[in-house]
Amino acid sequence: MTLPAGELEVVRTARRTEHHSVVTVVPLEAAENGEPESVAVHRDELLESFAGTCDAQVGRRHDGLGPLAPVGRQARRRARGSLTVATSTDVGCAPALLHQTTDSPMNTTYELTVPVFKKHLAALRAILDKAQVYASERNFDSAKFLELRLAVDMLPFTSQVTIACDLAKNGAGRLANVERPSFDGGEKTLAELQGRIDKTLAFLDTLAEASFDGVETREITFPIGGKETTMSGLDYARTFALPNFFFHCTTTYTLLRHAGVALGKRDFLSA
């Protein structure tokens, strides 16, 4: 079996057989210039064809995310010159990733956390801008937002923002195994809350991707509910840091939306 020469793109999973995943690949250059002919390839043949020129890495299935998706145009731009293949393998097996050895492999835990924290903190900052505009247009003090809550026994708006910042800062800092800065609290305005977001983003910018090497299996110990808890770095990122971060980002959004600020899903998803 001969694959097309040059860079390849997985365009779809064609079918699943009893023992193999079958994917359809096309030459990247042809894919960008029109409708190329495609080639159906068994996963095992794909691995065999690139033996010696590719690192075959078995990626872990992300809980709740399902199989890895076909590579999109944006991803190809980031990995120009490399071969990246994603397949849906047999039930019970993990998705397979192939990366040509000319490119450094991606640090999964870094990519899973730091860029995600930065993107959604920027979005959080932007919705605070919208809250300020809403208050200014209606001639009331935007500081009234800081005491918003949906129930008397929940933490107020201010805490939702500061905890989201701390989860990003402490989560990424623990994974990178670096000292984490301590921020003074007591924010009393939206602008001061945005200042806390800015300080968190500045800290995240200092983290080197290399400092996350090996963290997937390194033990992370952290306090929760008054007790020390230990888990692997990957589990810490996936089951604690990220879900908690999104919980508080979502609550911040919900409080402002409930108060009347004109926000939509796009405001939450990106700045």
- Give me the pLDDT at residue 38, please: 46
Enumerate the β-bridge partners of residue 21. Answer: 16
Residue 31 CB contacts under 8 Å (≥ 6 apart), including other chains: 9, 11
Question: Are the C-beta atoms of 194 and 165 separated by less than 8 Å?
Answer: no
Question: Are the C-beta atoms of 24 and 11 separated by less than 8 Å?
Answer: yes
- Give me the pLDDT at residue 250, please: 97
Neighbours of 96 (CB within 10 A): 21
- Give me the pLDDT at residue 36, please: 46
What is the largest distance, in Å, between two alpha-carbon atoms of the chain? Answer: 71
Could you give the count of Cα atoms lying within 13 Å of 131 in the half-sphere of its Cβ?
A: 27
Q: Which of 176, 145, 137, 172 is nearest to 161 (CA)?
A: 145
- Give me the pLDDT at residue 33, please: 56
Question: Consecutive sets of 10 residues in the chain, 271 residues long: mean pLDDT of each?
Answer: 47 40 47 49 47 35 36 37 37 34 62 97 97 97 96 97 98 97 94 98 97 95 93 96 98 98 93 55
Nearest 5 degrees, angle CA 204-CA 122-CA 169?
Answer: 30
Domains in the chain (CATH in brackets) are 8-100 (no CATH), 108-269 (1.20.120.450)
The pair of three-digit structure tokens given for residue 9, joined into one six-digit string: 């793109």
